[in-house]
Amino acid sequence: MDELKGLIFSIEEFAVYDGPGIRTSVFFKGCPLRCNWCHNPEGLEMRAQIVRSPNGCLGCGRCDAIAKKHGGEYTQEAADACPRHLLRPSGVWYGADELCAKLLKNADLLRAGGGGVTFSGGECLMQADFLTEVAKKLHGKLHLAIQTSGYAPADKLRGLLPYLDLVMFDLKLLDAAQFRKYIGGDLSVVLRSFRIAAESGVELLPRTPLIPGVTDTPENLNAVAETIASAGLHKAELLAYNKMAGSKYKLIGKTYAPMFDESKAGVPDLTPFKERGIEVRIL
Amino acid sequence: MDKRVQTIYDRLQSREYRSLRSGKEYSFAQDYAAAGTDPALRAADRLMKMAQAERAVLFAEDRIGMMRTVKKVPPIFTDEEFAAIAAEHFIFDGAQVNNISSDYASALDGGMEKKRNRILELRAKEQEGSKKYVLYTAMLTSIDALYLIAEKYRAEAERMGNERLAEALSNVPENTPRGYYEALVMLRLLNYTLWLNANKHNTLGRFDVYMFPFYEKDIKSGALAREEALSLTQEFFIDLNFDADLYPGVQQGDNGQSMVLGGCDADGMPVYNDLSKLCLEASLELKIIDPKINLRVDKNTPEEVYLLGTELTKQGLGFPQYSNDDVVIPALVNWGYDLADARNYVVAACWEFIIPGLAMDIPNIDALNFPGIVRKVTERIKEFPDYGSFLAEVKKDILAECDRLTSMTKGLYLMPSPFQSVLMTNCIEEGKDISEGTKYNNYGFHGAGVSTAADSIAAVRKCVYEEKSVSAEQLLAALAADFEGYADVRNKLLAAPKMGQNDDYADGIAVQLLDWLADGLEGKHNDRGGIFRAGTGSAMYYIWCSSELGATADGRKAGAPFAANFSPSLDVPLEGVLSVIQSFTKPHLTRVCNGGPLTLEFHDTLFRNEEGTKKVAKLVELFVKKGGHQMQLNAVNREKMLDAKAHPEKYPNLIVRVWGWSGYFNELDTVYQDQIIKRLEFLQ
């Protein structure tokens, strides 16, 4: 049987905002959702791509000429043609053992630093079988966390949870119609996953990105706080919106098109959390 | 800072005080030459004449003050005399005693009168006109010059109605300071006078050790409130900067005014105290260049020390620099330093480890150009049928270069420095000028460009010997053409493993290179009775050694600089900072512990909240526990951003922490880059 492989687009050492302690984050390629504010568009498609850094470009047109032959897609051939080496492959297939070995090379520092590994994305659960295989191998050796939208089949999530130490769970938008509009997909899947995670006993940390006029509204934050409180949780994190969210779109040759007013970003009213005794911090 | 300190700070920033300096230039060497004056007496006489020429300038808000009004300190030898000396000797950095650390503790304990009386006692035993008699006379004149400066400032303070300073200067520098304030006034006087005495790279050493008794006494007795102590310390720090434009160095700011905090005492007990903390707080608020703070840490250093240090790093000044006692002290002991001395180490101007009061080391005497050696062996690659024979030749050449470099240091000449000698531990008792050496007389060699050299060897091994993807002929042709027309060859070389990726393939080569540098220097003695120490620093050699060097087998183009200090090559794709730490803690650092830090650069947005600061602090702690010897961190500044924007190829690994995510600077749109640059404007 072929070895199970996972498609990874970035491994970032010393990821400061992805969980406790000194951590390495592994970014899985592919995501079932399409959040309108996604700041990591490189992670959306579950296939290897060539991405192009816009800065330092001489405008020589060599890569574009080659891309034209392939329906506008940048290929390795296009990458090789760049005199400034601005094109690079995004998405590398790793075997589970290979990825574990790579992560374990820094195990001493990660452990001594009170941290471990965070699997993020994209949506890491989109490659749940591979992820579970990796988590099994690393379980007990490193503190393991996932950063997830929760958008995954119940059995896949259940199969993974026993090997995790922390689940950072996005509660983004809790109105079903709004969810469909801004994120795409069925909110009930997220809520089902949240319940499964909460009941599993694994440490669960809800996180909400603050999208101006979309997720940072009093109604949504109230719903988020209520969901957190009903799950018996007392901690949450809010991720402040930053206008640089769209900066990576050029990498994949697309344009960032927010359906909200970026300039309205501000500090929201935290009363819904405080009322329910939820300790909340803004990152 | 309080209003008084703010006023002094504003004065420094305005630079207007410089207009108070006189344009007058002095010249004494011709007279000395005509009279055939002894060099030690020349140095003392010059200091006295400079003290006479100086004018005391105080401002209403000064409690310590002191600034130069004479810009240049003239030489003691005529050009002809100096040329004659240079013809007979090895001359390093103008032959001026520099880059050492005074024994301030002994000066503060008993004051200068104690030293002066002892010199008088000892001189009385010597034959008039004898070498020792002359030196003691020169020492006495130097102390009198110090007294003259003090008296000028005392009189000016009195005239201005500055009673506290006038009172302080009626006690110091003659006697033991009666408290922390007087100790600061005395230390400032000594620092001021050393510069006026033409000494270069005047370090401040272990401020929190020698000043602590005065500080503790005042705080305990209630004579001094902590806020007052902070205010005075800040004034002292600012004062160190007033004349920085007059201090000689490779660049302004290269003046060696380093301060060392923390570490252990002679018995190995930790010394980090409230004064250490106060100094960090003072610097944190001032954000000025001097003093440049070094923190001595070890495996037991508490987290709060790293946290406060990281707050300072966040200011983007490039310090504190950390040194690890667990590595440095054993290294110094292995090199023959007494344990108690090793435990008292400080850093010289940049990073070299020296002993205050007891060392006339020249820890930056020269550098071994690792990539230069590797390039030469590579040019002869056809003579070496396999990797083993190639590597053996590199080793042979490193050892030969160590022989050559050490032999070049013979016959060093330093000009006498009687005032500096007074401030050393043994010079008075031994009747020996510091320029003639003292307890430790070791020379240090930097190992420049070790990462470039290791990467070059790794690429040769991989591409030429193992995979045979590049032939020896192709490699030679590509190097000769500076890769013009050989992009494919260069790409293969660039893709080979590099130091900093936590890959033993390249890291292991660096371990060997540094071991060979240590081997090449081990057991050799210089002609001043000292040894040669190997180090990981670069000083300016990362430019000097690289600018004339052709392309190297790692893919580096001709003339491109090496990494500064002990760091990955500039254009290496890195896995991340954890891998860098792993790679750079692999070498046997106790063998190459002359000094030279691993330098890590972070975008300062990484420090934007407590979370980021705490984690950077933790990272430093991990480096120390992992056995790193020295580390320096930079919160990347705006100038660098602008440069990165214009030359993205120079900064492939510049990581930008934007908010809850991070990315490579090069991959951000111009508009976002500009936004960051703009945001940095108010940070600076």
Instruction: Mutate one of B494, B574, B606, B669 to test the A interface: name it (highest A CB count within 10 A).
Output: B669
Q: Which fold has domain A5-47+91-282?
A: TIM Barrel (3.20.20)
When mean pLDDT is compared across A89-93, A178-182, B584-588, B607-611, the lowest value belongs to B607-611
Residue ranges of A 232-251 with Cβ closer than 8 A to chain B? 239-244, 246-248, 250-251
Quote the longest CA-to-CA distance of chain A.
Answer: 59
The pLDDT confidence band at residue A74, using thresholds 50, 70 and 90, is: confident
Whole-number pLDDT of residue B652 = 65
CB–CB contact A53 B659 (8 Å): no
Q: How far apart are the first and last CA of chain B?
A: 18
The first and second tokens of residue B355, run together, are 């002993």
The pLDDT confidence band at residue B250, using thresholds 50, 70 and 90, is: low
Phi, psi of A13 (to 5 degrees): -80, 150
Name the minimum distance, in Å, from the CA of A86 to any CA of chain B.
Answer: 9
Give per-residue pLDDT as tens, B573-604. 888 899 999 999 999 999 999 999 998 878 77
* Rounded mean pLDDT, B40-60: 98
> Are residue B160 and residue B26 in the same domain, yes or no?
yes
Contact list in B for residue A111 (CB cut-off 8 A) is none
Instruction: Mutate one of A87, A244, A254 to test the B interface: name it (highest B CB count within 10 A).
Output: A244
CB–CB contact B577 A13 (8 Å): yes
Give the C-alpha separation, B614 to B310, whole Å. 8
> Are residue B337 and residue B476 in the same domain, yes or no?
no
Please say if the pLDDT value at position B659 is more than 50.
no
- Asked whether A247 and A226 are in contact (CB, 8 A), the reply is no
CB–CB contact B645 A55 (8 Å): yes
Number of domains, chain B = 2
* Rounded mean pLDDT, B498-512: 97
Please say if the pLDDT value at position B464 is more than 70.
yes
| Amino acid identity for residue B136 in this structure | Y
Give the C-alpha separation, B660 to A245, whole Å. 10
- Asked whether A11 and A25 are in contact (CB, 8 A), the reply is yes
CB–CB contact B661 A40 (8 Å): yes
- Asked whether B367 and B545 are in contact (CB, 8 A), the reply is yes
* Rounded mean pLDDT, A138-153: 97
Instruction: For residue B458, give the nearest of B450, B113, B342 by alpha carbon.
Output: B450
Residue ranges of A 63-102 with Cβ closer than 8 A to chain B? 84, 86
Query: Which of the two residues, B671 and B315, has the higher pLDDT score?
Result: B315
Instruction: Mutate one of A8, A12, A13, A105 to test the B interface: name it (highest B CB count within 10 A).
Output: A13
Find the radius of gyration of the CA atoms of chain A. 20
Look up the CATH number of the domain holding residue B25. 3.20.70.20
> Are residue B327 and residue B200 in the same domain, yes or no?
yes
The pLDDT confidence band at residue B4, using thresholds 50, 70 and 90, is: very high
* Strands (DSSP E) found in B478-586: 532-535
Search chain B and give the residue with CA nearest A120.
B661
* Rounded mean pLDDT, B488-514: 96
Contact list in B for residue A13 (CB cut-off 8 A) is 575-579
CB–CB contact A24 B578 (8 Å): yes
SS3 content of chain A, % helix, strand, coil (to 5): 40, 20, 40
Q: How far apart are the first and last CA of chain A?
A: 44
Query: Which of the two residues, A78 and B367, has the higher pLDDT score?
Result: B367
Whole-number pLDDT of residue A70 = 85
Please say if the pLDDT value at position A247 is more than 90.
no
Contact list in B for residue A263 (CB cut-off 8 A) is none
Answer with the one of B596, B614, B647 that is the final residue of a domain: B596
Query: Which of the two residues, B255 and A227, has the higher pLDDT score?
Result: A227
When mean pLDDT is compared across B162-171, B262-271, B286-295, B504-513, the lowest value belongs to B286-295
CB–CB contact B622 A112 (8 Å): yes
CB–CB contact A54 B670 (8 Å): yes
Whole-number pLDDT of residue A56 = 67
Please say if the pLDDT value at position B78 is more than 50.
yes
Whole-number pLDDT of residue B252 = 56
The first and second tokens of residue B567, run together, are 């760091």
> Are residue B346 and residue B424 in the same domain, yes or no?
no
Residues of chain A with CATH 3.20.20.70: 5-47+91-282
Instruction: For residue B409, give the nearest of B539, B528, B541, B545 by alpha carbon.
Output: B528
> Are residue B342 and residue B438 in the same domain, yes or no?
no
Paired strand residues for A148:
A169
Give the C-alpha separation, B256 to B292, whole Å. 8
Report the interhelical angle of B212-221 vs B226-239 (nearest 10°). Answer: 150
> What's the mean per-residue pLDDT of chain A?
93
The pLDDT confidence band at residue B606, using thresholds 50, 70 and 90, is: confident
CB–CB contact B667 A11 (8 Å): no
Q: What is the number of helices (H) and of strands (E) in chain B?
A: 29, 12
* Rounded mean pLDDT, A133-162: 98
Whole-number pLDDT of residue B210 = 98
Q: Cis before residue A115, ω within 30 degrees of 0?
A: no
Give the C-alpha separation, B142 to B132, whole Å. 15
> Are residue B213 and residue B124 in the same domain, yes or no?
yes
> Any idea which residue has 């991340």 for tokens?
B576
Does some domain include residue B499?
yes
> What's the mean per-residue pLDDT of chain B?
92
Point out the residue among B576, B626, B660 whose CB comes nearest to the CB of A283: B660
Paired strand residues for B649:
none
Name the minimum distance, in Å, from the CA of B622 to any CA of chain A.
Answer: 7
Answer with the one of B545, B561, B596 that is the final residue of a domain: B596
> Are residue B339 and residue B478 in the same domain, yes or no?
no
* Rounded mean pLDDT, B230-243: 97
- Asked whether B51 and B143 are in contact (CB, 8 A), the reply is no
Name the minimum distance, in Å, from the CA of A1 to any CA of chain B.
Answer: 30
CB–CB contact A11 B575 (8 Å): yes
Does some domain include residue B675?
no
Contact list in A for residue B606 (CB cut-off 8 A) is 16
Contact list in B for residue A53 (CB cut-off 8 A) is 648, 664, 666-667
| Amino acid identity for residue B663 in this structure | G
Query: Which of the two residues, B540 and B457, has the higher pLDDT score?
Result: B457
Does some domain include residue B57?
yes
> Are residue B194 and residue B45 in the same domain, yes or no?
yes
Whole-number pLDDT of residue B379 = 98
Name the minimum distance, in Å, from the CA of B619 to any CA of chain A.
Answer: 7
Give per-residue pLDDT as tens, A96-124. 999 999 999 999 999 999 999 999 999 99
**Cα B251 from chain centre:** 13
> Are residue B324 and residue B428 in the same domain, yes or no?
no
Please say if the pLDDT value at position B681 is more than 50.
no
- Asked whether B32 and B42 are in contact (CB, 8 A), the reply is yes
When mean pLDDT is compared across B149-153, B348-352, B396-400, B626-630, the lowest value belongs to B348-352
Paired strand residues for B22:
B70
Answer with the one of B596, B619, B639 that is the final residue of a domain: B596
Whole-number pLDDT of residue B683 = 32
| In chain B, % of residues over pLDDT 90 | 80
Give the C-alpha separation, A202 to B177, whole Å. 62
Point out the residue among B576, B645, B669 whose CB comes nearest to the CB of A54: B669
Instruction: For residue A20, give the nearest of A168, A208, A198 by alpha carbon.
Output: A168
Range of the domain at B56: 3-351
A62 CB within 8 Å of a chain B CB: no
Give the C-alpha separation, B256 to B348, whole Å. 7
Whole-number pLDDT of residue A221 = 97
Give the C-alpha separation, B518 to B448, whole Å. 13
Please say if the pLDDT value at position B229 is more than 50.
yes
Please say if the pLDDT value at position B549 is more than 80.
yes
Point out the residue among A14, A84, A113 whose CB comes nearest to the CB of B649: A84
* Rounded mean pLDDT, B48-65: 97
- Is ipTM beyond 0.85? yes
Name the minimum distance, in Å, from the CA of B481 to any CA of chain A.
Answer: 17
Point out the residue among B502, B658, B670 whose CB comes nearest to the CB of A105: B502
Instruction: For residue A37, give the nearest of A190, A262, A235 by alpha carbon.
Output: A262
Whole-number pLDDT of residue B684 = 26
The pLDDT confidence band at residue B671, using thresholds 50, 70 and 90, is: low
From residue A128, alpha-carbon distances to A35, B239, B605 in Å are: 20, 62, 33
Whole-number pLDDT of residue B661 = 33
Whole-number pLDDT of residue B647 = 86
> Are residue B86 and residue B222 in the same domain, yes or no?
yes
Does some domain include residue B252?
yes
Please say if the pLDDT value at position A170 is more than 80.
yes
Instruction: Mutate one of A26, A27, A50, A55 to test the B interface: name it (highest B CB count within 10 A).
Output: A55
| H/E stretch holding B482 | none
Whole-number pLDDT of residue B654 = 64
**Exposure of B330 in the CB half-sphere (CA atoms within 13 A):** 10
Whole-number pLDDT of residue B287 = 83
